Protein backbone atom coordinates (compact mmCIF):
# COMPACT_ATOMS: atom_id res chain seq x y z
CA UNK A 1 0.00 0.00 0.00
CA UNK A 2 2.82 2.42 0.83
CA UNK A 3 4.31 1.81 -2.61
CA UNK A 4 1.18 3.03 -4.37
CA UNK A 5 1.04 6.23 -2.30
CA UNK A 6 4.70 6.89 -3.03
CA UNK A 7 4.15 6.20 -6.71
CA UNK A 8 1.20 8.58 -7.02
CA UNK A 9 3.12 11.23 -5.05
CA UNK A 10 6.11 10.70 -7.35
CA UNK A 11 3.92 11.11 -10.42
CA UNK A 12 2.39 14.31 -9.03
CA UNK A 13 5.86 15.71 -8.31
CA UNK A 14 7.04 14.89 -11.81
CA UNK A 15 3.96 16.54 -13.32
CA UNK A 16 4.48 19.62 -11.14
CA UNK A 17 8.16 19.83 -12.16
CA UNK A 18 7.11 19.55 -15.81
CA UNK A 19 4.54 22.31 -15.40
CA UNK A 20 7.08 24.59 -13.70
CA UNK A 21 9.71 23.85 -16.34
CA UNK A 22 7.24 24.41 -19.16
CA UNK A 23 6.12 27.70 -17.64
CA UNK A 24 9.71 28.91 -17.34
CA UNK A 25 10.39 27.86 -20.94
CA UNK A 26 7.31 29.68 -22.30
CA UNK A 27 8.13 32.78 -20.22
CA UNK A 28 11.71 32.77 -21.57
CA UNK A 29 10.49 32.47 -25.18
CA UNK A 30 7.97 35.28 -24.64
CA UNK A 31 10.68 37.51 -23.13
CA UNK A 32 13.02 36.84 -26.05
CA UNK A 33 10.19 37.67 -28.47
CA UNK A 34 9.72 41.05 -26.79
CA UNK A 35 13.24 41.97 -27.92
CA UNK A 36 12.60 41.14 -31.59
CA UNK A 37 10.92 44.07 -33.35
CA UNK A 38 8.96 43.68 -36.57
CA UNK A 39 8.80 46.21 -39.40
CA UNK A 40 6.01 46.91 -41.86
CA UNK A 41 7.16 47.84 -45.35
CA UNK A 42 5.36 50.17 -47.72
CA UNK A 43 2.26 48.36 -49.03
CA UNK A 44 1.85 47.79 -52.74
CA UNK A 45 -0.95 50.31 -53.17
CA UNK A 46 0.89 53.13 -51.34
CA UNK A 47 1.73 56.20 -53.37
CA UNK A 48 5.46 56.69 -53.88
CA UNK A 49 7.53 59.22 -55.79
CA UNK A 50 10.18 58.30 -58.35
CA UNK A 51 13.24 60.29 -59.34
CA UNK A 52 13.99 58.56 -62.63
CA UNK A 53 17.23 60.48 -63.24
CA UNK A 54 18.75 59.37 -59.94
CA UNK A 55 17.05 55.95 -59.95
CA UNK A 56 15.46 56.53 -56.55
CA UNK A 57 12.06 56.16 -54.97
CA UNK A 58 10.68 57.78 -51.79
CA UNK A 59 7.49 58.73 -50.01
CA UNK A 60 5.73 61.98 -50.98
CA UNK A 61 6.85 63.82 -47.84
CA UNK A 62 10.53 63.07 -48.53
CA UNK A 63 10.10 64.30 -52.10
CA UNK A 64 8.96 67.71 -50.89
CA UNK A 65 11.65 67.86 -48.19
CA UNK A 66 14.64 66.82 -50.32
CA UNK A 67 13.67 68.27 -53.73
CA UNK A 68 13.16 71.96 -54.46
CA UNK A 69 11.81 71.24 -57.93
CA UNK A 70 9.38 68.34 -58.03
CA UNK A 71 8.45 68.78 -61.70
CA UNK A 72 10.62 65.86 -62.84
CA UNK A 73 9.31 63.48 -60.18
CA UNK A 74 6.70 60.83 -61.02
CA UNK A 75 3.96 59.70 -58.64
CA UNK A 76 2.94 56.04 -58.82
CA UNK A 77 2.11 53.13 -56.53
CA UNK A 78 4.68 50.90 -54.90
CA UNK A 79 3.46 47.94 -57.01
CA UNK A 80 3.98 49.90 -60.23
CA UNK A 81 7.49 51.21 -59.60
CA UNK A 82 10.07 50.08 -62.16
CA UNK A 83 12.55 47.42 -61.13
CA UNK A 84 16.08 48.45 -60.22
CA UNK A 85 15.22 51.61 -58.30
CA UNK A 86 16.85 52.15 -54.94
CA UNK A 87 15.24 53.79 -51.92
CA UNK A 88 16.22 57.39 -51.23
CA UNK A 89 18.87 56.95 -48.51
CA UNK A 90 17.75 59.70 -46.12
CA UNK A 91 14.12 58.75 -46.55
CA UNK A 92 14.90 55.08 -45.84
CA UNK A 93 17.16 55.88 -42.87
CA UNK A 94 14.46 57.98 -41.20
CA UNK A 95 11.89 55.18 -41.58
CA UNK A 96 10.23 57.02 -44.43
CA UNK A 97 9.46 53.81 -46.30
CA UNK A 98 8.55 51.57 -43.38
CA UNK A 99 7.07 51.70 -39.92
CA UNK A 100 7.83 49.85 -36.73
CA UNK A 101 5.51 47.00 -35.92
CA UNK A 102 5.00 45.09 -32.71
CA UNK A 103 7.52 42.78 -31.12
CA UNK A 104 7.20 39.15 -32.16
CA UNK A 105 5.53 38.22 -28.86
CA UNK A 106 3.02 41.07 -29.04
CA UNK A 107 2.31 40.29 -32.72
CA UNK A 108 1.27 36.78 -31.66
CA UNK A 109 -1.02 38.24 -29.00
CA UNK A 110 -2.44 40.68 -31.58
CA UNK A 111 -3.05 37.81 -34.02
CA UNK A 112 -4.99 36.02 -31.26
CA UNK A 113 -7.22 39.08 -30.99
CA UNK A 114 -6.29 39.93 -27.40
CA UNK A 115 -5.04 43.40 -28.36
CA UNK A 116 -5.89 45.67 -31.26
CA UNK A 117 -3.57 46.51 -34.15
CA UNK A 118 -1.19 49.45 -34.04
CA UNK A 119 -2.24 52.51 -36.05
CA UNK A 120 -0.99 52.22 -39.61
CA UNK A 121 1.07 54.76 -41.52
CA UNK A 122 -1.14 54.07 -44.55
CA UNK A 123 -4.88 54.06 -45.13
CA UNK A 124 -6.51 51.02 -46.72
CA UNK A 125 -6.25 52.70 -50.14
CA UNK A 126 -2.52 53.49 -49.82
CA UNK A 127 -2.65 57.13 -48.71
CA UNK A 128 0.17 58.10 -46.35
CA UNK A 129 -0.87 59.23 -42.87
CA UNK A 130 1.58 61.18 -40.74
Q: Examine the domain organization and report whether 68 and 90 are in the same domain.
A: yes
Among 26-35, 62-71, 84-93, top mean pLDDT goes to 84-93
Q: Examine the domain organization and report whether 125 and 111 are in the same domain.
A: yes
Q: Examine the domain organization and report whether 115 and 79 are in the same domain.
A: yes
What does the pLDDT average to over 66-92? Answer: 91
Residue 54: alpha-carbon gap to chain centroid:
29
Q: Examine the domain organization and report whether 72 and 128 are in the same domain.
A: yes
Q: Examine the domain organization and report whether 26 and 65 are in the same domain.
A: no
Q: Examine the domain organization and report whether 11 and 50 are in the same domain.
A: no
Q: Is the pLDDT of residue 46 over 90?
A: yes
- C-alpha distances (whole Å) from 4 to each of 1, 9, 11, 12, 112 are 5, 8, 10, 12, 43
pLDDT at 45: 94
Q: Examine the domain organization and report whether 56 and 118 are in the same domain.
A: yes
Q: What gap in Å lies between CA 48 and CA 97, rounded to an integer? A: 9
Q: Examine the domain organization and report whether 97 and 127 are in the same domain.
A: yes
Confirm whether pTM is higher than 0.75.
no
Question: What is the domain extent for residue 6?
Answer: 1-34
Q: Examine the domain organization and report whether 75 and 119 are in the same domain.
A: yes
Q: What gap in Å lies between CA 88 and CA 46, rounded to an integer? A: 16
Q: For 4-43, what is each residue's pLDDT tens digit?
A: 555 677 888 888 888 888 888 888 877 777 888 888 889 9
Residue 50 — pLDDT band, cuts 50, 70, 90?
very high
Q: Examine the domain organization and report whether 88 and 116 are in the same domain.
A: yes
Buried-exposed string 38-77: b where 16+ CB fall within 10 A, e elsewhere: eeeebbeebbbbbbeeeebbbbbebbeebbeeeeebeeee
Q: Examine the domain organization and report whether 43 and 29 are in the same domain.
A: no
Domains held by the chain: number: 2
Give the 3-state secondary structure of residue 41. strand
Amino acid sequence: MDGSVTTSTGIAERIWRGVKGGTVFVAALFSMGLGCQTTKSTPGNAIIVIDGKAGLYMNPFCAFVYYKNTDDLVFTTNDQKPKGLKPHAECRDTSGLSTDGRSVSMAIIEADGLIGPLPSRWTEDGIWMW
